[in-house]
Structure 1
Amino acid sequence: MFFRELPEPLFPFRFFQPFVEAVKIKETKHKVQAVKKLIQDLPKPNHDTMKLLFSHLHRVLGFSRKNLMSTQGIGIVFGPTLMWPELDTGNMAVNMVYQNQIVEFILIESREIFNLDRK
């Protein structure tokens, strides 16, 4: 509820479309670079919160056999909670697909995106 009730989502409105465009990139290496750059460009509180949240979600995923949460499940739950367009123009179903894909991708690539293995 905390993330859903923010006046502006964790992924700020101005970043919605750039993240959508980044997740459309076919080449994984380039997609990681594009998403990583966008996350680095976020305001520091958003960046730091996102890093902590995705680190936690990565741990949740480590127990997927017990908690039955897959990357897809986490994407479905957190995609619309962490990001949404400022104006509801366009197709809500299409936006939801991108929201889920973005969260899934960041979760899968979180070690690289947030340099989690580096001190």
Structure 2
Amino acid sequence: METIRTLSSSYMSFSAYIRRMYPAIDEAIRDGTPLDVILKAINGKLGTNGTLAAMKSALQRIRSEMAAKRTLGLPPDFVAPPMPASHFPLQPYDRPPSWGPFNNFPRSGPMSRL
């Protein structure tokens, strides 16, 4: 299993790696480790050239998502399920749909060309 994790981490994006390693990164920050030292370690492990701005942005996004989850009473590892397919049928673009605000528009005659 460790081999799979090692292989998968080598194909991870910079922000995905920060998200995965967030608990360790946050602990290092709380212990006083400067961000540029953490950034150099991450870039060395991944072989990337992530910037300090990208790292700060990823950390801010993770923290705001965690705060929202706390506010909603969700567990920290909660992931929302995928959105369901629309229940409206797909229709061609050359005619207005038969539902919604376009339902009362004339479909033929001089007013249909407006």
- TM category (shorter chain) comes to 0.3 to 0.5
TM-score normalised by structure 2 residue count: 0.32
Comparing both chains, which one has the higher relative contact order based on Cα–Cα distances under 8 Å and sequence gaps of 6 or more?
1
The structure with the largest helix share of the pair is 1
